[in-house]
A and B are shown apart, each in its own frame.
Chain A
Amino acid sequence: MTDNELMLAVRGGDIDKLGQLFETHHKRLYNFFRQHTGNRQASEDLVQEVFLRMLKYRHTYKGDGNFESWMYGITRNARIDYYREHSVEYVDLEETGNLIRDTPGPEESFSQKSDIAVLQRALLKLPEDKRELLVMSRFNNMRYKEIGKILGCTVGAVKVRMYRAMKELTDTFMELTGGGHHEM
């Protein structure tokens, strides 16, 4: 069964089918939230919240085949509400120091690992909207057209914003690594 068919079944009252959707998507959602909040506990709570909302709002599922967009809309609202309730400073940066848990793989050098930790810090330093854009584009592989639909703007506007977000991320990353060897 496709995601679309599963969700249609859930909408029709066969809510056990949500379990299959959970199995397919919860890990990616969790990591998505983790990039956003930098906090594991918050990310786990948010995953739960998303699936709860899917049940609660299942009647709003149109079944036009685009389950992911619908889920993303819910994800986005859950995250925004969460920030509103907990206010950003409660969540952000709480755990960023150890976002990368445990040991690197044998093939990974230490500097590679710490580079990525720095990048995650840089990501969390970005303003909300820029981080969201990068996460959508890079981690969710969404096309500009899709992103534009969600954000309510044109593809051209997404393009411009995306460039700015990438520029700021790169600048922040360079700044944090202290190198500045790629002065932009």
Chain B
Amino acid sequence: MKCETIQANIPEYLSGTLDSETSQQVKMHISECTTCRQKVEAMNLVWSKLEQIPEEEPGFAVRSRFYHMLEAYKIGMNNAPAKKAVIERVNEWLAVWWPRKPVFQFGITVAVLILGILIGFRMNFGTGPKNEITQLKDEMSEMRQLVTLSLLTRPSAIDRLQGVAMSKDIINPDEKHLSALINTLNTDPNVNVRLAVVTALEQFSDTLWVRNELVQSLEHQQSPLVQIYLIDLLAKIREQNALETLKTIIDNPETMEPVKKRARLGMEKII
């Protein structure tokens, strides 16, 4: 067998899944060929170490989250056609998930998922008049805002990212909601979350005060990545009020070079 053919068989040779004849051939070959033998040795080292990667117990919350989910699902199945207002039921479930004690800090995201399923349920089974469904949709959107706002305040960055992502689907966010996003942009310790907010705010940038907030935020951001994202957005919406801030950034000797470059490009675009 050629070296190439031998080498292609190494993974199966190591895992012992090769048929005995081929396995013998590989063994013979590597006793004579140094190149292939070295490959087998190196891969064998990695292959055996892969098995040593220890399994880990997941956090205890995984189990309780699962059983809560199961319960909620059952309630949903049984109550699907009932008349009880969805919002009321939702509140009951959220009460279960909402972290009244710090110990119960599991993701609210699950609650939102279930919410989606249940709404789906009602939609499928609901034979009632159309306006009932419209009302449901309104309730859903209201709940969505509520949950999103709550997510933005969660300790886990992943939850906050989820909150930002959900914000994009809110069609007409109120002022409170936009303020929460801007607050996250200005105070969140996690860069990824701040970047996500910049992206999410783009679709609301036709609101004057949001634009002003974006300019102000640029003045205070320390992370070069966030600065670049903000500069790009302000350039894209051609925000005239940003010119002064951009100039300050360019003139500041402490600004990193890539940021300066981006700011110059941004200025050209706006003018």
Contact = CB atoms under 8 A, between A and B. Distances in A.
B8 A47 contact: no
Interface string A18-58: 11001000111011001100011111110111011001100
Interface stretch (B69-77, B200-208, B211-219, B257-265): B69-77
A177 to B, nearest CB: 10
B221 to A, nearest CB: 19
B66 A26 contact: yes
Contact of A30 (B7, B47, B62, B113): B62
B50 A138 contact: yes
A19 B47 contact: no
Interface string B3-34: 00001111110010100000000000000000
A172 B74 CA distance: 48
Interface residues of B, number: 49
A162 interface: yes
Given A52-B113, A116-B52, A159-B12, A41 B158 contact: yes
Chain B interface mostly helix, strand, loop or mixed? helix
B45 interface: yes
Interface string A114-125: 011001100100
Nearest to B158: A41
A45 B58 contact: no
Given A15-B70, A116-B52, A166 B43 contact: yes
Interface residues of A, number: 57
Contacts of A52: 69, 110, 113-114, 117
Interface in B109-136: 109-110, 113-114, 117
Contacts of A51: 66, 69
A89 B192 contact: yes
Chain A interface mostly helix, strand, loop or mixed? helix
A170 B42 CA distance: 7
A184 interface: yes
Interface string B175-193: 0000000000000000010
B15 A137 contact: yes
A136 interface: no
Nearest to A169: B46
Contacts of A27: 55, 57-58
A159 B110 CA distance: 39
Contacts of B55: 27-28, 31
A169 to B, nearest CB: 6
B54 interface: yes
Interface in A119-159: 119-120, 123, 134, 137-139, 143-144, 159
A15 B161 contact: no
B109 A45 contact: yes
A182 B8 contact: no
B65 interface: yes
B6 to A, nearest CB: 11
Given A35-B53, A163-B11, A40 B66 contact: no
A184 B62 contact: no
Contact of A184 (B8, B38, B65): B38
B88 interface: no
A137 B11 contact: yes
Contacts of A56: 117
A100 interface: yes
17 contacts: A19-B67, A43-B58, A45-B107, A48-B69, A51-B66, A52-B113, A52-B114, A56-B117, A86-B158, A86-B161, A89-B192, A115-B49, A116-B49, A139-B50, A163-B10, A163-B11, A166-B11
Given A30-B58, A159-B9, 18 more contacts: A16-B70, A30-B56, A31-B56, A35-B53, A40-B59, A41-B156, A44-B61, A55-B73, A112-B52, A116-B52, A116-B54, A163-B8, A182-B38, A182-B41, A182-B42, A182-B45, A184-B39, A184-B42
A-B pairs, top 9 by smallest CB distance, nearest first, are: A182-B42, A30-B58, A170-B46, A138-B50, A162-B11, A31-B55, A90-B192, A163-B8, A166-B11
